[in-house]
Chains A and B, each alone.
Chain A
Amino acid sequence: MSMTESVQPTPPISRTAMHILLAIGPEERHGYAIMHEVSRITGGAVKLGPGAIYTTIKRLLADGLIEESDERPDPESDDERRRYYRLTGLGRVVAAAEVRRLESLVSSARPWALGDRVVGG
Chain B
Amino acid sequence: MDTARVPGRSRSGRISTRVYAVLLHVYPGEFRRRYASEMTQLFTDQLRDARRPSGLAGLWRRTLADVASSALSEHLRRDRTVARSLATFHPTRSMRLAGVVAIAGGVLLLWAYYSWNPFGDRQVNSARLLLFWAAGIAVAFAFHGRQAAFRPLLARTATGAVVLCGAWNVLWLLLAWDRSSPFIGDFGLMGFVAGFLGWLAASYYGAAMLVISAAWLGMGRWAATVTRMAGGTLLVAGLVATFGMDRLGLTRSDSYGELFATLGAVGVAGVGLAWLAMGLVLVVGGRRVHEAH
> Could you tell me which A residues sit within 8 Å of B by CB distance?
27-33, 35-36, 47-55, 57-59, 73, 77-79, 81-84
Contacts and interface: CB of A to CB of B under 8 A. Distances in A.
B42 interface: yes
A27 B42 contact: no
Contact of A58 (B2, B35, B63, B71): B35
Contacts of A81: 37-38, 41
19 contacts: A27-B1, A31-B38, A31-B41, A33-B1, A35-B42, A49-B66, A50-B46, A51-B39, A51-B71, A52-B66, A54-B31, A55-B74, A58-B31, A78-B2, A78-B4, A81-B37, A82-B38, A83-B38, A84-B1
A80 to B, nearest CB: 10
B148 interface: no
B1 A50 contact: no
Interface of B: 1-4, 27, 31, 34-35, 37-43, 45-46, 62-63, 65-67, 69-71, 73-74, 77
A78 B66 contact: no
Contacts of A32: 2, 4, 41-42, 45
A79 B4 contact: yes
Chain B facing A: main interface SS = helix
A84 B252 CA distance: 75
A118 B280 CA distance: 78
Contacts, number: 82
Interface centre among A36, A50, A81 (most CB of B within 10 A): A50
A49 B71 CA distance: 12
B62 A49 contact: yes
Contact of B2 (A29, A47, A49, A54): A29
A28 B45 CA distance: 18
Contacts of B4: 32, 78-79, 82
B69 A51 contact: yes
Contacts of A84: 1
A49 B41 contact: no
